[in-house]
Amino acid sequence: MATTMTSGSPVRPRLIADHFIRYYWRQAAPFASVAAGPSLTLLRQNTGRTAAVLAAIDEHRRRFEGSLAQARKETSSWRQLVSRVDSIVRQMPLSKLQTLGPDRLEFLYENLGQGAEIILKAGVAYCFRRHYALVADLVKGAWARYVRRFNTDLLGDRADLNEFLFGAERADLSAVAPVLIEFQHGECFYCHTPIRDDGLGHVDHFIPWSRYPVHLGHNFVLAHRTCNERKSDFLAATEHLEAWVDRNQSHKVQIETCLGQVGVISDLGASFRIAHWAYALTFGCNGLTWIRGQECRHLDPGWERKLAHAIC
């Protein structure tokens, strides 16, 4: 956000609301926790107004199967969401951000009146840009500690909270491919033809990155570049889902061990619960799943059979 602000220029709170939604979009996804049992659960982040933002975003996440890109394409409903979040954000945190104890100290911007734009004080935009990395690091650390405090029963000492809250980099996954190719006998996970012609193949997030951007070892499969691209951010059809459950049950420990050696965290229970959540969302919307090439079909009711059994 700091990169778009200019000192002395007005900043539209709607723009801030837009960013707010983007940041919270991923945090409104349910967290896969062993303590939560077979289903996923939303992390408790606060009460009151922040919870209202999360509820509004969660409603949109469900409607668009978790896809932020799809949600933004529906211009009118996106505008409604931004308006709703805008009216919440004006009251909290914007009007409270400059209140220190009992005192109001307008050190960042002229305080926000009803319908007013925010005028940044001289030097504020420069400082945000200059110290962006430091400020972002402090804020993320503080926010993660805050969320952990609210959710000690769910989180325990889970190390991937920061990744869940703020997203992982789309890391270089080249070290993952040589591990997976052994488990797939040199074949593409989706079309079952040899992959060697395509170098080492492409590492695919079985539950697409756009829906749940966390790297978990059992979620990776190896595919041809073309299969990977055509699957895009669809969920894979039921037969692929069943093959994925089988592979992970058969090679649970080996995948965990081998990928652990190249720095990838694994949690098979969490991967299964994330898959269940994603497929349930798509089934609820009568969404399409990808079979091969350009072929897609609506998710059939049998999707849950094997997965539900695996979670129990």
Site for Zn ion in 26-65 (CB under 5 A): none
Q: Is 181 in the site for Zn ion (CB under 5 A)?
A: no
Residue 207 or 223: the one with the smaller Cβ distance to Zn ion is 223
Compute the least distance from the CB of residue 247 to Zn ion, in Å: 15
Site mask for Zn ion (CB under 5 A), range 231-270, x = bound: ----------------------------------------
Contact window for Zn ion (CB under 5 A) among 62-70, 184-192, 212-220, 274-282: 184-192
Question: What is the bridge-based pairing of β-strands 202-205 and 220-223?
Answer: antiparallel
Q: Which residues of 117-129 are buried (b: 16+ CB within 10 A; e: fewer)?
A: ebebeeebbeebe
Complex with Zn ion: residue 188 or 274, whichever CB lies closer = 188
191 touching Zn ion, by CB under 5 A: yes
Q: Does 144 bind Zn ion (CB under 5 A)?
A: no
Contact call for residue 180 and Zn ion (CB under 5 A): no
Residue 206 CB, shortest distance to Zn ion, in Å, is: 14
> What 8-state DSSP symbol labels residue 301?
G
Tokens describing residue 106 = 């307008």
188 binds Zn ion (CB under 5 A): yes
**Does 175 engage in binding with Zn ion (CB under 5 A)?**
no
Q: Minimal distance in Å, beta carbon 202 to Zn ion?
A: 9
For the CA atoms of 29, 33, 35, 38, what is the dihedral angle to 10 degrees? Answer: 80
Q: Per rule CB under 5 A, is residue 71 in the interface with Zn ion?
A: no
- Give 151 or 228: the residue with its C-beta nearer to Zn ion: 228
* HEC string for 202-255: EEEECCCCCCCCCCCHHHEEEECHHHHHHHCCCEECHHHHHHHHHHHHHCHHHH
The residue nearest Zn ion at its CB is 188
Task: Please state, in angstroms and rounded to a whole number, the distance separating the CA atoms of residues 206 and 114.
Answer: 46
Binding to Zn ion in span 205-224, by CB under 5 A: 224
Q: Is 230 a binder of Zn ion (CB under 5 A)?
A: no
Tokens of 202: 């492409």
Q: Residue ranges of the alpha helices (H) in the chain?
A: 13-27, 49-63, 68-73, 75-89, 124-130, 132-150, 152-155, 161-166, 177-183, 225-231, 238-250, 252-261, 268-284, 304-311
Q: How far is the CB of 231 from Zn ion (least distance, A)?
A: 9
Both structure tokens of 82: 């931004």
* 227 touches Zn ion (CB under 5 A): yes
> Contact region for Zn ion (CB under 5 A) — 139-147, 169-177, 226-234, 283-291?
226-234
What x/- string results for residues 1 through 20 when contact with Zn ion is judged by CB under 5 A?
--------------------
Reported as type and span, the H/E element at residue 289 is strand 288-292
Q: Which is nearer to Zn ion, 31 or 190 (CB)?
A: 190
Say how far apart CA 201 and CA 194 lie, in whole Å: 10
Q: Which is nearer to Zn ion, 218 or 224 (CB)?
A: 224
Query: Are the CB atoms for 13 and 90 separated by under 8 Å?
Result: yes
- Residue closest to 212 by CA, chosen among 142, 270, 289, 293: 270
CB atoms within 10 A of CB 55: 12
CB of 212 to Zn ion, least distance (A): 23
Return residues touching Zn ion (CB under 5 A): 188, 190-191, 224, 227
